[in-house]
Structure 1
Amino acid sequence: MSEFTHLNERGEAHMVDISGKAPSKRVALAQSSIQLGEEAYTLLVEGKHKKGDVFAVARIAGIQAAKRCSDLIPLCHPLMLSKVSVDFDKDGDTHTITAIARCELEGKTGVEMEALTAASVATLTIYDMCKAVDKGMRIVNTELLEKHGGKSGSWAREG
């Protein structure tokens, strides 16, 4: 059985020591989708929502969330992100918006959690801003799409 990386020899939680790792370019791409009813979807994509530009607010919320990831996830290292972007894909057939977050840095640990947090908070923000119109929205398929860099190299979700 391998040792747990987030537990010390006494079984107590601790932050993993990354001081001996070499810095490398790290990139992660994650997504989270929100399914809306037809009315809420139409208001959103046509920019007619009463609360204003939902996409702009959700984008900023996602970027801020990536920057604050270590405040939210216990034992997550605070990172000096060099780039965070949040973009949105729209599917009119299923009334689904997919937030796609990309995080980058030159560092000693990966940015997967930051990308996942950014995508998640972007869809949560859409939910918050649209809930007066549609309380039945569903947030689905929050997942890492790909990561690059570090000792483990590159990984991409199949399909």
Structure 2
Amino acid sequence: MGVKITSADKWFSRCVRERAGWRCEGCQSEYPENSAGLQCSHFHGRGSYAVRFDPDNAFAHCTRCHYFFEGNPHEFTRWVRERLGEGAYDILLEKKQVVDNARFARRDVKQRHKSEISRHYREEYRRMQVLRKGGDMERIEFAGYF
């Protein structure tokens, strides 16, 4: 049984893919907006609630790249370290240990329509779309909830 996709997951995933401009961050293939071919790929799995919704823990990957990295964790680690840099990589590892964030995230995602995390990422996604429609074609960063 997999991890259930919540409203917070949905909006966070959209932010990750919008940040990348609907382009795979692995192979650089382009995808139409909201395409199922481009996925939100978590470095530390979605079961790690402390970083489940952390922008540094997620990347836009096509199905092929997502499965490649999932099946080759050493390659994924190398790729993430290179992508984030050593300092940000080390901070991500530290964030993974923050128990209070994990507890809050677990409780919050159960709230469904009252989820603060979901609301935060929905607003970030809408902000990013306005920037994209305004002509910003580069990578658009978004603020993490924690």
Q: Normalised by the size of structure 2, how large is the TM-score?
A: 0.24
Structure 1 or 2, whichever has the larger Rg, is 1
Q: Normalised by the size of structure 1, how large is the TM-score?
A: 0.23
